[in-house]
Structure 1
């Protein structure tokens, strides 16, 4: 079913999932230079209209589409695997599975269900340890115990403990804003947090964990 894939020299239209609303609306153009079983190699993307080159970092998530016959948009989500110096600089991105190429755009970060330990410090000094419900490149959600309360719009300082498959463990610090508090029937609630300050390198650690997990789910 390789007809589903773009061809060499096809143009890719790309939007980045950086968690920044303004950035997420910008469309970049690139061209596919090469492809193998695992990856697509594309030129460094240019911003439409301005011609500004967009520097991509390893682990950056993108939502891309290419046009097939009749101008049909074919969307897929991917992420940056590495950089390559050929005659020109190329960016190697993950080649999607054929069934992940759709006619509908799926924005938003990858989210995976995960029970990770997270330490939370509120502005009033309240501190507690809890477990996440899910994590992603744009935020996390975590459980509140009965009797604990956090209001929407609060800013929290947190760090989450991330265990990788190879046995390494990372502490990822971030600051997040409470977007929503969802009440569960069990008298507990889940706090949904979006990052409003996280160092890029720390975000990559989270995204790497998400891709490892997603891979596990897929291979079950």
Structure 2
């Protein structure tokens, strides 16, 4: 499902600048063809400042459809286009590259991914996830390690995709439960307190890939 003409796009830039990556811009779809979307020059939410985009800039975007569902996709700037107003031409994603997510029901999948954990007291360690999703992750604790419910953690998780690409996804989360296992280990269940939408999209994309694998076994 593609956005319609005049639909609003919410955009974040895929940049190494952490501060810039958190900024949300708004634009509006002006036109589409088989390969491209044409959008108005984006405005920064809150300030209304225009954002100049350059050819090749990578971005993460979403638009809202019926029921408040967010439809995420990644794209990049192809060119600029002069019409009645100045437009930005971006790559039109394939339909299967658009993921629909309703925040109340994030997909969650079993996955053993490498995750780095840093607690507020400076404790840090590497471990493996038990499952991941758009709303949070669970990870294993080794015997002797302990984390309290309610703790705030800074983490990143390593996401490998089927095409060979690898992404590091940073986030901050709160421990909602620590589940003890018979093996003297435990599982920490974490919900996201702060994660940039662009980073959440990377996790969502991985979950959809995993779900597709499970269905085809």
TM-score range, shorter chain: 0.5 to 0.7
Change over 3 Å in CA distance of 1:5–1:52 after alignment to 2? same
Instruction: Out of 28-37 and 112-121, give the one that drifted further.
Output: 28-37
Secondary structure at the aligned position of 1:107 is classed as: helix
SS in structure 1 opposite 2:101?
A: coil
TM-score normalized by the length of structure 1: 0.55
Specify whether residues 111 and 40 from structure 1 end up closer, same or farther in structure 2 by C-alpha distance, changes over 3 A only: farther
Which runs of no fewer than 5 residues in structure 1 stay unpaired? none
Q: Give RMSD over aligned pairs.
A: 7.1
- Given that 1:132 and 1:143 are in contact with CA atoms closer than 8 Å, whether structure 2 keeps it comes out as yes
Q: CA deviation at 1:200?
A: 1.1
For the 8 Å contact 1:63–1:106, the answer to whether it is kept is no
Instruction: After superposition, give the CA deviation of every residue in 1:98-145 in whole Å (9 maximum; x if it has no partner).
Output: 999999999421000000000000000101000000000000000000
Distance 1:141 1:200 in 2: 19
Confirm or deny: 8 A CA contact 2:69 2:101 kept in the other structure. no
Instruction: Please give the secondary structure, in 2, of the residue aligned with 1:203.
Output: helix
Structure 2: distance between partners of 1:193 and 1:89: 44
Aligned partner (choices 169, 172, 177) of residue 169 of structure 2? 172
TM-score by length of 2: 0.56
Measured against aligned partners, the alpha-carbon deviations of 1:157-195 in whole angstroms (never above 9, x if no partner) come to: 100000000001000111111011011111110000011
The Cα offsets for residues 22-58 of structure 1, whole Å up to 9 and x where unpaired, read as 9999999999999999999999999999999999999
Q: Which residue of 1 aligns with 2:116?
A: 119
The unaligned stretches of length 5 or more in structure 2 are none
